[in-house]
Amino acid sequence: MKWDLTGDRVDGLYMGQFPYSGIVTESRVKYGGDVQYTVRVDEPFVVFGAVRDVVLVSNTEINRVLSPDYI
């Protein structure tokens, strides 16, 4: 899997318990080599009382990646 998913559609579980799907707006390599993705979600959801329309996820929180070519 490529590390730069900017522009790709992804879905997964945010914090292991909140399902999401959306478009990756930024991919960055964090200190230590882990990759973090900024995802603008299709439908905002509530996480512990706060509405999230953008989430920061790691590659372990992404279940599926779809290239924009397939959408």
Residue 68: its pLDDT value, please? 65
Residue 19 maps to a domain: yes
Residue 26 maps to a domain: yes
Residue 35 maps to a domain: yes
Residue 24 maps to a domain: yes
Residue 49 maps to a domain: yes
> Rounded to the nearest 5°, which phi and psi values hold at 15?
60, 25
Number of H helices, E strands in the chain: 0, 5
Residue 3: its pLDDT value, please? 87
Tell how strand 62-66 and strand 50-58 pair up: unpaired
Residue 66: its pLDDT value, please? 84
Give the predicted TM-score (pTM) of the model: 0.88
Distance (Å, whole) CA 27 – CA 48: 25
Residue 71 maps to a domain: no
Residue 10: its pLDDT value, please? 95
Question: Which token pair is 4?
Answer: 């730069």
What is the total count of domains within the chain?
1
Residue 48: its pLDDT value, please? 94
Domain around 54: 9-64
- The residues of the chain scoring below 50 in pLDDT are none
Residue 69 maps to a domain: no
Half-sphere exposure of 30 (CA within 13 A, CB side): 10
